Amino acid sequence: MIEKIENVSVIGAGYMGGGIAQSLAAAGMKVMLADVSPEATRSALTRLLSEARDFEAQGLFKAGSAAVIEANLSAADSIEAAVRDADFIEEAVPEVPAIKHEVLGRICAAARPDAIIGTNTSTLPVHTLAPAVTHPERFLTVHFSNPAPFIPGVELVCGVATDRALIPVVKDMLRRADRNSAEVADTPGFVLNRLQYALLKEANSIVEEGVATPADVDVIVRSTFGFRLPFFGPFAIADMAGLDVYANCFKTFEDAFGERMATPELLKGLVAEGKFGVKSGEGFTGKHDPEKLAKLVAYRNNAYARMAQLLQELGPSPLAES
């Protein structure tokens, strides 16, 4: 079993693969790229190095990053050449099962039998891709988000055959690239996109029903509950709002939208036990003593105030309505 990932291969040097390659190269790993052709790969490398210099000049990358990326990132003439010596191979070709199956097959035919193989799929369960992988014990989802150089979270998904000894090795690679990761179960869309697409689906319904325009939906999302999300997930947010309040709100939603918006059983159970979140000292996120809760509230208030200052400094996005 590989103990430390030093040599990486990224197959598919597009939007995600390119950013993943930059990120891992900047973290000191040797990264080889391969795309549909040697010309496409070399063109991608040129783009990525130029982009890295621009990002460093803009202060978006740490000083010296562009030189480190240039020293560590290279273009291979084929998938086979790219993966030959790799400890870890990240597949980042289009979200088309047939393409992924073909590329995973080529990777497996040329990579070392102990090489760890990751897929950057957005939604495809590991069990639908694993049949294309020899030695599926070395295969898992390592799901970066866009744009890869700037989004810190990575979703890890094991298949039934995945050797769980891979997880600390992959997590170590991600830590060295300043990424934090969480492992979730192997279901369609995992956690990230199941939630992200549920939000977009409901947002589309809101627009289709004439409740709001896309622009106004975006304003509300990014300036209310979205404003909280860089610091807290939905369960922490609910604990701070009050689970009794959430239970009352779900009654409104169930009356209006039926079963699909009925009060979740987990929430019902907590409220029935008098566990209302921060206000009662226990909720979705567990039990917390008054000292910790005081620190939480202080952290929250500071974070939100600082976020508001940052948004003031940045000014509105070009998409924001004047």
Ligand X SMILES: NC(=O)C1=CN([C@@H]2O[C@H](COP(=O)(O)OP(=O)(O)OC[C@H]3O[C@@H](n4cnc5c(N)ncnc54)[C@H](O)[C@@H]3O)[C@@H](O)[C@H]2O)C=CC1
Residue 167 contact partner, candidates ligand X, ligand L7SNNMKT, none, CB within 5 to 8 A by sort of partner: none
Nearer to ligand L7SNNMKT, 192 or 303 (CB): 192
Lay out the site mask for ligand L7SNNMKT across 77-116 (x = CB under 6 A, - = otherwise).
----------------------------------------
Strand arrangement, sheet containing 139-144: 73-75, 30-34, 7-11, 88-91, 116-119, 139-144, 153-158, 180-184
Smallest gap from Cβ 81 to ligand X, in A, equals: 12
Q: Which residues are paired to 11 by β-bridges?
A: 34, 91
Closest CA to 277 of 232, 250, 242: 242
The residue (of 50 and 196) whose beta carbon lies closer to ligand L7SNNMKT is 196
The 10 Å Cβ neighbour count of residue 235 is: 16
Choice between 103 and 278, CB closer to ligand X? 103
Under rule CB under 6 A, residue 192 binds ligand L7SNNMKT: yes
Considering beta carbons, is residue 81 or 184 the nearer one to ligand L7SNNMKT?
184
Phi first, then psi, for residue 69 (nearest 5°) are -65, -45
Shortest distance (Å) from residue 120 CB to ligand X: 4
Would you call 219 helix, strand, or coil by DSSP?
Answer: helix
Give the residue ranges of DSSP H helices in 73-211: 79-83, 97-110, 126-129, 166-176, 192-208
Residues from 85 through 104 that contact ligand X (CB under 6 A): 92-95, 99, 103
What one-letter code names the amino acid at 78?
Answer: S
Contact residues: ligand X, CB under 6 A: 11-17, 35-36, 40, 92-95, 99, 103, 120-122, 145-146
